[in-house]
Amino acid sequence: MRNILNRNQNKAAEVRKLLASEKVMMVNIISSPGAGKTTLLECTCEEIGRDFRIGVIEGDITTDRDAQRLKKYDIPIVVINTEGGCHLDSHSISKVLGSFNLKDIDVLFVENVGNLICPSQFDLGETFKLALVSVAEGDDKPAKYPMLFREAEAVILNKTDLIPYTNFNIDKFRSDLRDINARVPLFEVSCTSGDNIKMWYDWIRMRLKSYLI
Amino acid sequence: MRNILNRNQNKAAEVRKLLASEKVMMVNIISSPGAGKTTLLECTCEEIGRDFRIGVIEGDITTDRDAQRLKKYDIPIVVINTEGGCHLDSHSISKVLGSFNLKDIDVLFVENVGNLICPSQFDLGETFKLALVSVAEGDDKPAKYPMLFREAEAVILNKTDLIPYTNFNIDKFRSDLRDINARVPLFEVSCTSGDNIKMWYDWIRMRLKSYLI
């Protein structure tokens, strides 16, 4: 296992160097299945796609369903099917980077395989990891799956429109998250209703501008 | 990887033999984080605990939060913390079986680590796998994560009370599931509102009676 992680780390360093030289920001989006990664990408393409050139890598065990949902945005999309594998690794990312014209991309969103555990252990060479968690999963996820929340540069709590229909305790969620990562930016949004999503747009725009200088 | 799976399989066969000789049914519950495994166990302990003697193995990366929630039922519970590991394996199960008095248990529920992928690859020696998926995860989960749905002896679709507040298409869910596993029993329930949960109770009772003969 240590060997696998070491080799992954070396290749990730290569990817990171390449992306930095091409001024491409790579965002590794990690969440449980069905937390809303693709829906986040849909609204982000819609909004951020006005000012920045977006590319997407879709990691999935099988099917290209998520990629199909993004086709309408006329952006370059590459699908990686892991065929049972529970995470993407830096070698699979490195292989598909050649399919993009990196000079024409500002931000490359990677939708990792839906899994709150294994993807956090594999550096893809990303600029940063984005953790996404849905209200419907319960307020105890940061405490129970701390690795991702420790590593993420930003956390999105999605599906806040469902709070009235669940026993989700937002104070508990916030305080558990703060115990693990005291300073991480937290965006409490609904990607479907649009509640509060502007905060995410503002943040990712600012992050992109500061990266592309 | 093949070595690991082979060793796991051998130990699982041992566990299965021991449990059969002790007439203990073991149910390996697998789902994404936050699909409702612990809530299902709460209501199942409440209802099925009247007629059958229940034991629980709680698999978690860290914390004993789920076990704490089940303490009120006065049943034997053992926690396995995987310390970052993304699934339980048959060796960890075998080790903790000694903590139970198997003669006093009819059914041992194993709450696996919240993960829709890796746990399906590891036989624990269970009598059968139970797949749990929540409405909030979206109707595309069987198609996107087929392994578990292929292997499960029963599927529970949980949180049906949230359907009115989401774009979950139950016909699509059913037909995708049927493409993968045409005959698997499907229970569409809400563990918190109790909707339709009686179907699950009736089925698990029947399954237990037929096993304990």
| ipTM summary value | 0.89
Nearest CB neighbour to A86, from listed B84, B86, B165 = B86
Specify the pLDDT at position A213: 81
What residue of A is the nearest CA neighbor of B37?
A: A137
- Contact call for B134 and A192, based on CB within 8 A: no
Contacts of B125 (CB under 8 A, 6+ apart): B11, B12, B13, B14, B15, B16, B18, B19, B26, B90, B93, B94
Sign of CA dihedral A198, A202, A207, A212: positive
Specify the pLDDT at position B2: 85
- Contact call for A115 and B117, based on CB within 8 A: yes
Query: What are the φ/ψ torsions at residue B67 (nearest 5 degrees)?
Result: -60, -40
CATH class given for the domain over A2-212:
alpha beta
- Contact call for A144 and B86, based on CB within 8 A: no
Residue A126, helix vs strand vs coil? coil
pLDDT band at B213 (very low <50, low <70, confident <90, very high): confident
**pLDDT for residue B191 is more than 90:** yes
Mean pLDDT of B159-163: 98
- Contact call for A61 and B114, based on CB within 8 A: no
- Contact call for A134 and B86, based on CB within 8 A: no
A18-27 tens-digit pLDDT: 999 999 999 9
- Contact call for A65 and B140, based on CB within 8 A: yes
Q: Which of B166, B164, B100, B115 lies closest to B138 in space, CA to CA?
A: B166
Q: Where are the beta strands (DSSP E) in B63-127?
A: 77-81, 107-111
Against a cut of 0.80, is the pTM above it?
A: yes
Nearest CB neighbour to B61, from listed A63, A84, A145 = A145
In whole angstroms, what is the distance from residue A68 CA to residue A80 CA? 13
Residues of B with CB under 8 A from a CB of A: 32-35, 60-63, 65, 84, 86, 113-118, 121, 134-138, 140-141, 143-147, 159, 161-162, 165-167, 192
Specify the pLDDT at position A155: 98
In whole angstroms, what is the distance from residue B102 CA to residue B150 CA? 30
- Contact call for A34 and B34, based on CB within 8 A: no
Specify the pLDDT at position A89: 98
B20-61 tens-digit pLDDT: 999 999 999 999 999 999 999 999 999 999 999 999 999 999
From the CA of A200, how many Å to the nearest CA of chain B?
22
Task: Give the strand order in the sheet containing A77-81.
Answer: A77-81, A54-60, A107-111, A25-30, A128-134, A154-158, A186-188
- The segments of chain A whose pLDDT lies below 70 read none
B2-200: in CATH 3.40.50.300: yes
Spans of all domains in chain B? 2-200
* Interface with B, mutate which of A111, A145, A157, A168 (most B CBs under 10 A): A145
Specify the pLDDT at position A35: 98
**pLDDT for residue B14 is more than 90:** yes
> Which residues of chain A are within 8 Å of residue B5 when distances are taken between CB atoms?
none
Task: Please count the other Cβ atoms lying within 10 Å of the Cβ belonging to residue A140.
Answer: 20
B88-109 tens-digit pLDDT: 999 999 999 999 999 999 999 9
